[in-house]
């Protein structure tokens, strides 16, 4: 197990990519702290991991609430004594072009897709400095390396979080802390409903996937989780400031 005796926090881990990532980290030996704003979903992920022989606890957390982030980090340190891995994953899609996105929608996108990652990394980094290193993975999107039609709030925030991750990598590499961005493509989860609505419904997105993604299909959450494991582990020990795109070739088509 390549993550034996390491401790990981995963936000947005109650479903989808977050859950798949938490499961693979636990499978490889990490003790995982499951953070999700839906208590039942977080507890379910923790139960799945425990049922498979792994170690996990759930801490209900709204990542836009500073006090709850502080509690998440405190619970992790109180329980396990260290933080080796942070996968800051929770995010939101706000659909629409410039004239259709309410300013509150842009604010919400920025709050969750950028500021929350900043706030949690800021809390975790001192612990990683003190212990001599760590790996921080921030979820962006392949929309952070190219652009989507009619998704100004989402694409803007996802580009910004890649820039922020690169800046943190520059500033904290000397402490042996690696910061990388995870950039998934299309995974068939409820997270994508706003963009599917924007495109015109299910038939439209299925046609897009077949036509515009060179591999002609959706990714599975488990395929994205393999990238999470790579970035969390020593397999990527000399990689920092990188945006790892896993999208079946969509962004180069």
Question: What ranges do the domains of the chain cover?
Answer: 7-252
- Whether the pLDDT of residue 195 is over 80: the answer is no
Catalytic hit among 154, 175, 195, 208: 154
What distance in Å separates the CA atoms of residue 121 and residue 110, rounded to the nearest whole number?
16
pTM summary value: 0.95
What pLDDT band is residue 199 in, cutting at 50, 70 and 90? confident
Confidence of residue 193 (pLDDT cuts 50, 70, 90): confident
Q: What is the pLDDT of residue 223?
A: 97
pLDDT band at 63 (very low <50, low <70, confident <90, very high): very high
Distances (CA, A) of 73 to 45, 56, 177, 244: 19, 14, 17, 26
Q: Are 144 and 158 in contact (CB under 8 A)?
A: yes
pLDDT at 149: 83
Which fold would CATH assign to domain 7-252? Answer: Rossmann fold (3.40.50)
Cβ atoms 183, 145 nearer than 8 A: yes
d(CA 154, CA 157): 5
Query: Does the pLDDT of residue 25 top 80, yes or no?
Result: yes
- Is 19 a residue whose pLDDT tops 90? yes
Please indicate whether residue 172 is annotated as part of the active site.
no
3 state SS for the chain: CCCCCCEEEEECCCCHHHHHHHHHHHHCCCEEEEEECCHHHHHHHHHHHHHCCCEEEEEECCCCCHHHHHHHHHHHHHHHCCCCEEEECCCCCCCECHHHCCHHHHHHHHHHHHHHHHHHHHHHHHHHHHHCCEEEEEECCHHHCCCCCCEHHHHHHHHHHHHHHHHHHHHHHHHCEEEEEEEECCECCHHHHHHHHHHCCHHHHHHHHHHHCCCCCCECHHHHHHHHHHHHCHHHCCCCCCEEEECCCHHHC
pLDDT digits (tens, 9 = 90+) for 101-154: 999 999 999 999 999 999 999 999 999 999 999 999 999 999 999 988 888 999
At residue 185, the pLDDT reads: 94
């Amino acid at each position: 197990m390549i993550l034996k005796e390491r401790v990981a926090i995963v936000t947005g881990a109650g479903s989808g990519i977050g859950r798949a990532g938490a499961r693979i980290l636990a499978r490889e030996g990490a003790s995982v702290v499951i953070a999700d704003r839906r208590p039942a979903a977080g507890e379910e992920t923790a139960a799945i991991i425990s049922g498979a022989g792994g170690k996990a606890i759930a801490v209900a957390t709204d990542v836009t609430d500073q006090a709850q982030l502080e509690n998440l980090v405190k619970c992790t340190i109180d329980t396990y004594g260290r933080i080796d891995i942070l996968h800051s994953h929770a995010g939101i899609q706000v659909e629409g072009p410039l004239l259709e996105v309410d300013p509150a929608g842009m604010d919400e996108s920025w709050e969750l897709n950028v500021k929350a990652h900043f706030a949690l990394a800021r809390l975790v980094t001192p612990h990683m400095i003190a212990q001599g290193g760590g790996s921080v993975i921030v979820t962006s999107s392949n929309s952070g390396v190219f652009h989507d039609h009619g998704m100004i709030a989402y694409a803007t925030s996802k580009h910004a979080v890649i820039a922020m991750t690169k800046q943190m990598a520059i500033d904290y590499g000397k402490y042996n802390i690696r910061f990388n961005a995870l950039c998934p493509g299309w995974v068939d989860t409820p997270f994508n409903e706003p963009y599917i609505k924007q495109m015109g419904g299910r038939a439209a997105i299925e046609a897009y996937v077949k036509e515009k993604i060179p591999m002609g299909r959706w990714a599975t959450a488990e395929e994205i989780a393999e990238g999470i494991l790579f970035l969390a582990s020593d397999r990527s020990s000399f990689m920092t400031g990188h945006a790892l795109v896993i999208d079946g070739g969509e962004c180069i088509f």
